[in-house]
């Protein structure tokens, strides 16, 4: 593990294990690098160097009062890759982390990157607008902020217990260990970062970012994603990318890297080796 300083004086916590071609993991809201434990161990054992950071205001990174937007997220990721002097890196992002990866590639270029994958990711745009009629209404995200402000601890129990992992689906068996780990990661981070982060992941339009990217990108999304609806995300991102490949799952949840790690890891590995 280590610390990298940001331009505005913050500190970003990261893990860096192993040798070989680097894979950099960007986590979802409001979690931490720990959400990638299963993937990091898997790819470490397959000869890769694995790196994951806690986004600013999340996990063990500085709980800054501002900068909780995609520009800062991308700049912090760029600071990390420069600090480690990464070359031929593969970037993998889940949910909000998928937006972070896309914005990083568009904003800072691809000189250090060879491939990327975005999983259950927020691009192109989650918010419903005239140009994006399949998105979600703003009051959905206003409601998330209201729940967070009223009782973050309760909100962080309800979300993984329900739609995040699909435990609200008929016949699904909830895992207390998975729910508790989600709550633990969320509560370590800062309320202000998480509150502002809802705007960052829901209102950032990644359309032009996606058009700029030329490296191969695997877009992994499930038709049953209850957090980032499939109809307004995965297929649209794949079409906007110059070299995008869409991998669709039928009934996996938003948090499929956890609930279906064996499948996700195998599909990621096949893409990296292709």
DSSP H/E element including 3: strand 2-5
Active site residue 108: no
d(CA 5, CA 2): 10
- If you ran DSSP here, which 8-state letter would residue 36 be given? G
- Which residue in the list 26, 32, 95, 233 is annotated as catalytic? 95
Active site residue 54: no
d(CA 248, CA 224): 10
Closest by Cα among 175, 151, 140 to 161: 175
Active site residue 254: yes
Residue 270 has a CB neighbour count (10 Å cut-off) of: 11
Residues 6+ apart with CB under 8 A from 159: 182
Burial 15-42 (b: 16+ CB within 10 A, else e): bbebeebbbbbbbbbbbbbbbbeebbeb
Catalytic (active-site) positions? 95, 225, 254
């Amino acid at each position: 593990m280590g610390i990298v300083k940001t331009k505005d004086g913050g500190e970003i916590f990261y893990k860096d294990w192993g040798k070989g071609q680097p894979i950099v993991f960007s986590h979802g809201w409001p979690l931490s690098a720990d959400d990638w434990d299963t993937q990091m161990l898997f790819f470490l054992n397959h000869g890769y160097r694995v790196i994951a950071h806690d986004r600013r205001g999340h996990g063990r990174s500085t709980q800054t009062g501002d900068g909780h937007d995609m520009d800062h997220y991308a700049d912090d990721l760029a600071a990390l890759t420069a600090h480690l002097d990464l070359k031929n890196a593969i970037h993998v992002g889940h949910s909000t982390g998928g937006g972070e990866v896309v914005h990083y590639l568009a904003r800072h270029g691809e000189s250090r990157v060879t491939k990327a994958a975005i999983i259950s990711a927020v691009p192109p745009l989650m918010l419903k607008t005239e140009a994006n009629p399949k998105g979600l209404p703003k009051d959905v995200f206003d409601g998330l902020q209201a729940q967070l402000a009223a009782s973050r601890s309760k909100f962080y129990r309800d979300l993984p217990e329900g739609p995040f992992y699909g435990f609200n689906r008929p016949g699904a068996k909830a895992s207390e260990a998975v729910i508790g780990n989600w709550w633990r990661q969320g509560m370590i981070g800062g309320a202000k970062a998480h509150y502002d982060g809802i705007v960052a992941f829901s209102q950032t339009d990644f359309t032009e970012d996606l058009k700029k990217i030329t490296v191969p990108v695997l877009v992994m999304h499930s038709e049953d994603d209850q957090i980032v609806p499939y109809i307004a995300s995965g297929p649209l991102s794949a079409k906007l990318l110059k070299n995008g490949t869409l991998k669709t799952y039928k009934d996996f949840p938003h948090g499929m890297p956890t609930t279906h790690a064996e499948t996700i890891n195998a599909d990621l590995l096949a893409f990296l080796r292709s």
